[in-house]
Structure 1
Amino acid sequence: MILTGPEIAQAVAAGDLHIDDFDPARLEPNSYGFRLGPELLVYDRETLDSRRAPGSRSLAMGAGGVVLEPGRFYLGSTMEAMGSPHYAATLYARRSVSTLGVWIQFSAPLGHSGAVFPWTLEITVASPVRLYPGMLIGKLAFWAMQGSPLLYDGKYTGSTAAVASRLSEDLVTVPTDGGA
């Protein structure tokens, strides 16, 4: 069952839900609005290898924002650390952001119970668009769970900003000759 805005506020007040810098003005009917953090990550190689950690560089956004270009992939983060050991969460773009041609999440919208940190955003744009640090960019919905929770304790635990892919940590060497 999805939490309503008032239930999100109650869960934060009770300490069952963590949202840094909680602001009741950002409560929505069934979600909480979050802001874009001040830095973006950009991969520094044209071709990435899933068996190797990708190199990236940080791109700080000043008060004037930064223009994102089509054909580039950016990693951003939420300003807020959010999550809960009692609820699962899903991340969505704000409609006004997505209808501007900005996508903030492609493949990993589920936040497991126990994961409490700034969320990494997978950002791409359809046309050049200027984004600003601190702008409302998305919303997080929280869901009651059925059964005993299994708390997240994965490789992104302890994140404090956008995190590049850590897929290489999961991969084992696969023979390239096709043999066994």
Structure 2
Amino acid sequence: MYLSDHDIKQAVKDGTITIRDFDPKRLGSVSYDVILDNDFIVTDVHNTPVIDPVKKIFPQTKEHHVKDGDAFYLFPGETVLGKVRDFVGSDTYLIQISGKSSLARVGLVVHNTAGLINPGHFLNLTLELSNINRVPLVLRPGMQIAQFVFSTLTSSVENNYKKVGRFSKDNWAHFKPAKKRKSSKK
């Protein structure tokens, strides 16, 4: 069962849902609009010959920071990682990320497969932003990019994400470009 706007407001008030800097103006009837942040991680296609997750071969990446008011161009067929500004989480509810229909209609996909925030996970969610249109899409930090939907569970979870989760609240760190390490040899 999904939470209504009234239920979301009450859950934020009583602390069972955390939304840092909660803004009631972004509350829909059954969702909460989230804002795009300033940082993006892009695959470095010139240094990534192949991606093979089974063999732990992941893409080489580059990090891009876009100032407020500036634009990030997402080209056709491109997928990048972006973050939401909203820090969110709950020990009680399942949180799902959903696209906004106005952006979906112009070809923006905000999550490819990872659309759940498990109970016990508190974070600034990483988005998998893809352009399935045939022309570039302009993304701007501060734009409403997606929405969170909150669901009740039939019982409390035994395996809270705080205990068994793979990613921390800084789930972004796993995808950042590797920094060059200084050699200790002289």
For this structure pair, what is the TM-score category when the shorter chain's length is used for normalisation? 0.7 to 0.9
Distance in 2, Cα, partners of 1:20 & 1:11: 13
Distance in 2, Cα, partners of 1:162 & 1:73: 18
Q: Is the 8 A contact 1:90 1:141 kept in 2?
A: yes
Counterpart for residue 161 of structure 2: 152
Percent of matched pairs sharing the same residue: 29
Alignment match of 1:139 (pick from 128, 136, 147): 147
- Cα offset, 1:88, TM superposition: 0.4
What's the CA shift string for 1:26-60, capped at 9, x where partnerless? Answer: 00010100011111101222422211343311111
- Cα offset, 1:67, TM superposition: 1.2
Whichever residue aligns with residue 65 of structure 2, its letter is A
Alignment match of 2:95 (pick from 89, 92, 96): 89
Counterpart for residue 36 of structure 1: 36
- Cα offset, 1:158, TM superposition: 2.4
Structure 2: tracts of 5 or more residues without a match: 177-186
Counterpart for residue 76 of structure 1: 82
- How many residue pairs match? The answer is 165
Distance in 1, Cα, partners of 2:116 & 2:173: 16
Counterpart for residue 6 of structure 1: 6
Q: TM-score, normalised by structure 1?
A: 0.85
What's the CA shift string for 1:118-172, capped at 9, x where partnerless? Answer: 111111111201110010010000011112223113221121647539xxxxxxx
Answer 1 or 2: which has greater helix percent. 2
Distance in 2, Cα, partners of 1:8 & 1:162: 29
Distance in 1, Cα, partners of 2:86 & 2:171: 10
SS at match of 1:37: strand
Whichever residue aligns with residue 101 of structure 2, its letter is R
Counterpart for residue 48 of structure 1: 51
Whichever residue aligns with residue 29 of structure 1, its letter is S
Distance in 2, Cα, partners of 1:6 & 1:25: 13
Q: TM-score, normalised by structure 2?
A: 0.83
